A and B are shown apart, each in its own frame.
Chain A
Amino acid sequence: MKERLIFGYDPFVLPFLIGMIFIIAYLLVGTVRIILSLNNNEKKQLFRIFIPVNAYKIVKDIILDCLLHVKIFKRNLLLGYMHSSIAFGWFMLIVLGHIEVMLFTPQRNGIFYYPIFFRYFVMETEETLQGAFFFFVMDFFLLIILSGIALAIYKRFRSHRLGMKQTTKLRLGDNIALYSLWLIFPLRLLAESFTADISGGSFITKGINDLFHSFVSNPANTLPVWWAYSCALGLFFFTLPFSRYMHIPTEILLIVLRHVGINATSLRDGYSEAEIYSCSRCGICIDACPMSFEKKDVKFTSVYFIRLLRRREIAEQPADLCLMCNKCVEVCPVGIDSTKLKLICREINNGAISFDYTPVKYNSPLKREKLLYYGGCMTNLTPSISTAISKILDKAEISYVHLDKDQTICCGRPLLLSGNLKGARELINKNREAIISSGCTTLLLSCPICYKMFKEEYDLKGIEVVHHSVYINNLVKSKRIVLKKTTDTCVYHDPCELGRGSGIYEQPRELLSSMMLLKDSPLQNNESICCGGSLGSISMPFAKRKIITGGSLDNLLTNDPDLLVTSCPLCLKTFTPLNSKRTADIAQVVSEQMIN
């Protein structure tokens, strides 16, 4: 392999070269801006990338997420292949191009355009046999990319074939970038096939060279195609900052920031900026969002919320509407915490609202027990649950104190989710004081909303916080209560705050399976659909909630169970009026199935 052109230059490289310099400069400035916007503490945290464990995690995540798109593979094979073929294939072409330059024309090392247009500048020599390996792998990866591009084009028209009911609507910048991306690789194939008989090629470049010999052997056609290839690349780089493809470089930065422990604290700090630009608008969150049951509400899903943020437009409406069920975060292949961003939006708008929460008081309990039960507001509205709990505890002969039997002080989560941190803090302090002074060692909760709150926002050292689904399951396992079997079948609804929010999926299922046949629903565990009752939304009207409840019920009742069981009082209250079958809390079911 040796150089064909003495100067190693042709004007057609200019579009690419200028585009490349532009994008590198843009990214450098962007990265510096993001790093500068970190506060001093966070800047210090950046040095943690030198800790080997962190470095390992960062590299691993970059390979798995940015190149191989493993998370998307897990959702849908074809969709995963589409993303990873383009990303990984392109990456390999660049790497291999550089290796070729290093091996065959080391004097051109460091010239930006040389590895990209390598085939144009070189010709085969007697060493070809050595180069044939590269011809093959280069063609192989090009083929992989082309198959990915073909899938991408197909997906634009038939997204459901790739496991997506709906895909993102694009705007001008996205479209130009998209079309130039689609063009890059077919043009590269064509361009390289021109020179396949000069600089070598393998099964596809050579093949095309043979097939269209009369066209590609005409030297007058060569340069225009290389120009076109270079222009497509240049155009892509120029539109990159205005398109969703900014996610390609930004995601790497996001992974770094995440692994050194930096988190979003405002809408435009370094981390959230990186999150916003890391969104590839793949649209996976659209199908996941319960609001997408209504087509006109797709505009409120996270992908569009983040686009509003990126354009610095007003994002208040989607932020307030969101149910905060966290499913979009769960399925996001980039791991963008859009719920947190929405929460920050709300803090800006609602943080100043102030009420007085001081008048409510707990009656001081007459006895001290190791077990303290706190039902919370929602359980006080569903007395069947607290009644069932007291029956179960009595049967297991466990004495306990019911902290809020008479009146309850809210756990603070609704205020926290509405963005009023100050108000939430006030409630947290009041509850915390009462719980600690009760001298309990275990805090039993019925409401997953409270559970998440007590677990994460209360500093209850030495006190075990446990949800009743887990607690009762342990009672059964330790034979403190014995359950009989029934022939009824049931389906279990994962409450957002217990499942995705706290990672409790198995214990309630184990408990139910010990009493009856537990049926599956198509979307369950972390894919479960919010019941629609979530107090996470500030502004969602009942009409919209009803549609979501209906959609969630349809999913749950797919396999026609006799009973819908959940472990959240709010889900129970939301499903009951609309469910034609019985809805029950897991504690109710247990209290009915207990053998004395």
Chain B
Amino acid sequence: MVSPSENLNLNNMYKNVLVLGGGVAGLQAASSLRDLGYRVTLVEKGEKPGGHLNNWDRLYPGNITSSSVIDGYLSNSQGIRILTNTTIKSALKSDKLLTVITSSSEEITVSAVIITTGFSLFDATIKEEYGYGLYNGVITNADLESLFISGKIHNREKPSRVGFVHCVGSRDDKVCNRHCSKICCMTAVKQACEIKEIWPETEAFCFYMDLRMFGRGYEDLYYEAQNKYGVNFIRGRVSEVGEDENGKLVVKAEDTLTSRPLKISLDMLVLMSGMVKNPDNKALSAIFETSIGEDGFFAQPHPIVNPTGSSSTRIFFAGSATGPKSVAESVNEAKSAALSVHMLLSNE
């Protein structure tokens, strides 16, 4: 292995960068760095790169398929060394280099690391009152996407009523997650429209606290959901879910706009499981000497002016490792992080 030295003016070709996590942020960061002339190693703990997008059907706005996004990266991944089924065990810091040891005991010496380890999906069984894992009709947003991908959704009996519960495991102190997961409102609206496309006669209900339609085009889909698809929006949290003798779900909620308790029978209930910290964050933070926020996501010292910077010079973040983000935001941050790496290394 060639060690860059300060006296030799080697070009970027000889500088190694490690990207940790093969989701959309990791793939984008790796390809940007490769384009800038660095030798990039992408470490992914799963069987294949792609992250959560592998289990997602379509993205909004634009209705493009997730697989097309991933395929785009993978078909253009030449020059990137991708290690799957690999994790990081430890890291050794020297002056301008970091030696990282992987789970397969390989030593990789790099000049910078971008952490793109993303998020985990909230375990909906913790919100036991929603009956996930207990009642067949209760699924999560991720389960529904899998049904869309596999096409198995069409094997299901046509439901007469489907409900969507927003903020499952988000904005909920009782399960120790105070943060908003940002994209679930949009996901619920998108999925409700998709369900209506498959079964136009099915009634759809969204139970929400607030609708956070923050992105461009999001509000438009919300209007479309109401006006074109006839999705019903009920402002109020679901309090509990039960099952009656016929296997129908009995959902109790509060309609805060009419100040009345509400009880409704549904055939399917989709829980918008939120984004929570990756459980590996703590260990990784110890290895790379970065810090972690109270919510368990990585913390940036200057989140506004330097959102991709960590408290260590050679460690950068991109994507939802630092909190819930949409795909577009993650891609942006990945490019930004790659540029930050380049600005650091090209001056050395």
Binding site for B on A (CB under 8 A): 380-384, 387, 405-407, 542, 546, 572-573, 576-578
Contact = CB atoms under 8 A, between A and B. Distances in A.
A578 B240 contact: no
Contact of B129 (A382, A407, A578): A382
Contacts of A406: 242, 244, 250
The 4 closest A-B pairs by CB, nearest first: A542-B173, A381-B129, A577-B175, A382-B128
Interface string B227-242: 0000000000001111
Contacts of B135: 383
B134 interface: yes
B248 interface: no
B181 to A, nearest CB: 16
A387 B128 CA distance: 12
B263 to A, nearest CB: 7
Contact of B134 (A387, A407, A542, A578): A387
B128 A383 contact: yes
A577 B242 contact: no
Contact of B128 (A405, A542, A573): A573
B126 A381 contact: no
Interface string B140-177: 00000000000000000000000000000000011110
B281 to A, nearest CB: 15
Contact of A576 (B128, B239, B252): B128
Interface in B238-294: 239-244, 250, 252, 263
B126 A576 contact: yes
Nearest to B244: A406
B126, B240, B250: residue with the most chain A Cβ atoms closer than 10 Å: B240
A406 B126 CA distance: 22
Contacts of A383: 128-129, 131, 134-135, 240-243
B308 to A, nearest CB: 30
Contacts of B241: 383
A407 B243 CA distance: 12
Contacts of A546: 176
A544 to B, nearest CB: 11
B174 A573 contact: yes
A75 B283 CA distance: 41
Given A407-B252, A572-B128, 16 more contacts: A380-B129, A380-B240, A380-B242, A381-B129, A383-B131, A383-B135, A383-B241, A383-B243, A384-B128, A406-B242, A406-B250, A542-B174, A573-B174, A576-B128, A577-B174, A577-B175
A380 B240 CA distance: 7
A578 B176 CA distance: 8
Contacts, number: 40
Nearest to A572: B128
A316 B175 CA distance: 28
A578 B250 CA distance: 28
Given A407-B263, A573-B128, A384 B134 contact: yes
A530 to B, nearest CB: 16
Tell me which of A380, A381, A383 has the highest count of chain B C-beta atoms within 10 A of its own C-beta: A383
8 contacts: A380-B242, A382-B129, A383-B242, A384-B134, A406-B242, A406-B244, A577-B175, A578-B176
A577 B240 CA distance: 18
A314 to B, nearest CB: 28
Nearest to B279: A580
A384 B241 CA distance: 12
Nearest to B245: A405
A381 B250 CA distance: 13
Nearest to B177: A577
Contact of A577 (B134, B176, B243, B244): B176
Contacts of B243: 383
Contacts of A384: 128, 134
Contacts of A387: 134
Nearest to A574: B174
Nearest to A576: B126
A405 B129 CA distance: 13
A542 B294 CA distance: 14
Contacts of B134: 383-384, 387
B240 A381 contact: yes
B133 to A, nearest CB: 8
A384 B130 CA distance: 11
Nearest to A543: B173
A405 B174 contact: no
A583 B119 CA distance: 24
A576 B125 CA distance: 10
A281 to B, nearest CB: 35
Contacts of A577: 126, 174-176
Contacts of A578: 176
Contacts of B176: 546, 577-578
Nearest to A359: B261
Contacts of A381: 128-129, 239-240
Q: Pick the most buried of A380, A573, A577, A578: most chain B CB atoms within 10 A of its CB.
A: A577
A381 B240 CA distance: 6
Contacts of B173: 542
A437 B325 CA distance: 56
A578 B126 CA distance: 10
A140 to B, nearest CB: 59
Nearest to A385: B128
Nearest to A381: B129
Contacts of A380: 129, 240, 242
A572 B174 CA distance: 12
A574 B175 CA distance: 8
Nearest to B134: A383
Contacts of B128: 381-384, 572-573, 576
Contacts of B240: 380-381, 383
A406 B250 CA distance: 8
A577 B135 CA distance: 20
Nearest to A569: B128
A150 B126 CA distance: 53
B264 to A, nearest CB: 13
